[in-house]
Structure 1
Amino acid sequence: MALGVCAVLPIRPEVAARTAVVGAAAVVLIVGACVLRSAAAIRAAVFIGPLFGCFAVGILGGWPPAVTTVLVCVLPLGCLLFVGRRAALRPAVPWLARGSLTPEAPWLGLATVVLSGAALTAWALAVRPEPAEYLRELQRLPLWLTILGIVAFALINPVWEEMLFRGVLLTELASVWGVRAAVVLQAVLFGAAHFAGFPSGLVGMAMAGAWGFVLGVMRVRSGGILIATWCT
C-alpha cells in the first residue's frame, strides 16, 4: 500500500526535493520488503520501482515526454517479465492475465465507456483545463507526428495504468487484505493519482476513484485486465 502511495504522487521539476524524499521512502520500503521477505511487496516493488524511477528521471531530467512515456511502458514491463521467470515470485504472472468474458461484461463495459466519456466531457467543458505538457509538445510537431503521438498516448496510457492499479496493486493488496479491500484501496489510489491529472482536483479525484472502483470490480469478475483496459 505504501509503495502504491509513492507511485501515485505527482513528480514536478519545481519540487524536485519532494520527489527525492518520495524516492528515498520507496527505496526504504523496498529494502524493508526484502529484509522481511514479503513476497507481495517484493513483486510490487519490481514493477513500481522502475515505474517511479522512469518518471522521476524523465521529468526531472527534462527529457521529451515521448521518450519518458516509452521508458515507462518498456522498463517496468520488462522487469515484470523477468520476475515471471523466478519461481519464488511467479505469482506476479497473473497481474497481466487476460481474463474471460463474463455475461455482464459487455453491457457493464459499454455503460462504463459511455458514462465516463460523458462525465469527462462535462468536466472538461466546465473546467477548461490546460493541455498536458505531452500534448502541448505535440502541437509543435508535423501533423503526421502529432497524430502518431496522440494515437500512441491513447494506447499506452491505459495499458500502464491498468498494469499498475488493476494488475499489480489490486492483486498484491488482495493477497494481503482480501479482494474487497483491495478493490476499494486501488480505487482510492487511482483517484489520488488524478489530483494533478485528467480529470484533476478534488472533483477529478472523486470521478477517477469511482471509475477505478468499477474497473476493479470488472477485473475481479473477469479474472483479468483485458476488459478493464478496453474500457480505459
Structure 2
Amino acid sequence: MPGTAAGGGSTGGRLLAGGAIVGLGVCAVLPIRPEAPVRTAIVAAAVVALVGIAVGLRSPAALRGAAFVGPLFGCFAVGILAGWPPALTTVLVCVLPLACLLLVGRRAGVAPAAPWLARGRLTPDAPWLGLATVLSGAAALVTWALTVRPEPAEYLRDLQRLPLWLAILGIVGFALVNPVWEEMLFRGVLLSELASVWGARIAVVLQAVLFGAAHLAGFPSGAVGMVMAGTWGFALGILRLHTGGILLPYLVHVTANAVIGTLAVLILR
C-alpha cells in the first residue's frame, strides 16, 4: 500500500500528471444530458485536451487514466445522446474502457495497467469492515429518506409497480452490474493512479470527493447526498487500500446497493 508518491519523474511532472488525472475524473462525473449538447461538447473537448496532455507528459499514470476515462466518457456520451438502451450503454462502459486500458498497458513503460484487478488479501478484519460499511450506509439512507421523504425517482416508481419479488430481482441485477464500472473508475483507476503520483492518503480522499460529486443527482441527492456518497466512497477506498484489491469493495458496493435499493422501494411509497 503506497503511502507516498512513487510515480517517478520530477515533482513538477507528478503535479501535472496528478492534475490531468483529477481533471479526467471531473469530466467523468459530470452528468451528460441530451438537452445540454453544448455542455457535453465542451466536456468532450476537455477530455480530448487532457488525453493530449497525458500523452505529452509521457506519464504512465496519466496515460493509464486517459486510456480508461476517455473511452468511458465516450461510451456514456454516445449512448445517452443517441438514445441507446441503458443496458447496452452499461455493458459498454463495463467492458470497453477496461479493454482500452489493458491494451495501452501492453506498451513498454506503461504497465502494469490494472493492478487493482487483483482479488486482494482477505484479512481477519476485512469482512467486519465491509459489513460495517453496508450497515452504516443503509442506516444513513433510511434516516435520510424518512426525514426528507423525497419523491421517488422514475426507475423506483417503475419498480414499485411490480410484485415485490420481481422488484427485488431488478434491484439485485442493477446492483451487480452498476458497481463494475464505478469501482473500476474510482477505487481502480483514480485511486491507483493518483496514489502513484501523489500518495495514497491524497488519492483516497480525492476519489471519495469525485465519487460524492458523481451522486449529486443520485439517491440520496443534493449536497447531503454528495456528502453521504463521498463518505461511503472514502470507506470503500480504505477497504481497497486495506485489502490490496478491488474484490471486497465491489462486493460491499453490490450488497449495499441491493439493500439500499430494496429499502428505497419499501419506504418511498
The answer, yes or no, to whether TM exceeds 0.5 is yes
- Which residue does 2:261 correspond to in 1? none
Distance apart, 1:50 and its partner CA? 0.9
Distance of 2:183 and 2:133 partners within structure 1:
15
Q: 1:64 to 1:134 in 2, by over 3 A?
A: farther
Which structure has more relative contact order (CA 8 Å, sep 6+)? It is 2
Residue deviations 1:87-128, cap 9 Å, x none? Answer: 322122203121101222111111111110121223233344
Residue deviations 1:133-189, cap 9 Å, x none? Answer: 666677899999977654332111112111100000000000111010101111111
- Which residue does 1:8 correspond to in 2? 29
Q: 1:226 to 1:174 in 2, by over 3 A?
A: same
Match of 2:236 among 201, 210, 215: 215
Distance of 2:92 and 2:207 partners within structure 1:
23
Are 1:33 and 2:54 matched, yes or no?
yes
Distance apart, 1:59 and its partner CA? 1.1
Match of 1:67 among 71, 88, 94: 88
Match of 2:246 among 225, 228, 231: 225
CA RMSD of aligned residues (A): 2.4
Match of 1:204 among 216, 225, 246: 225
Match of 2:213 among 186, 192, 195: 192
Could you tell me which amino acid in structure 1 is paired with residue 174 of structure 2? F
Gaps of 5+ in 2: 1-21, 254-269
Match of 2:134 among 95, 113, 123: 113
Match of 2:193 among 134, 147, 172: 172
- Which residue does 2:118 correspond to in 1? 97
Q: 1:85 to 1:209 in 2, by over 3 A?
A: same
Distance of 2:235 and 2:89 partners within structure 1:
29
Distance of 1:138 and 1:46 partners within structure 2:
36
Paired residues in the alignment total: 232
Gaps of 5+ in 1: none
Moved more, 91-100 or 111-120: 91-100
Larger Rg: 2
Match of 1:123 among 131, 144, 167: 144
Are 1:81 and 2:111 matched, yes or no?
no
Distance apart, 1:191 and its partner CA? 0.7
Q: 1:47 to 1:137 in 2, by over 3 A?
A: farther
- Which residue does 2:79 correspond to in 1? 58
TM-score of the aligned structures, taking structure 2 as reference length = 0.78
Distance of 1:85 and 1:131 partners within structure 2:
45
SS in 2 for 1:91: coil
Bigger proportion of residues as helix = 1
Q: 1:44 to 1:88 in 2, by over 3 A?
A: same
- Which residue does 2:43 correspond to in 1? 22
Distance of 1:82 and 1:142 partners within structure 2:
44
SS in 2 for 1:62: coil
Moved more, 213-222 or 129-138: 129-138
Moved more, 43-52 or 147-156: 147-156
Calculate percent identity across the aligned residue pairs. 75
Distance apart, 1:224 and its partner CA? 0.8
Moved more, 201-210 or 87-96: 87-96
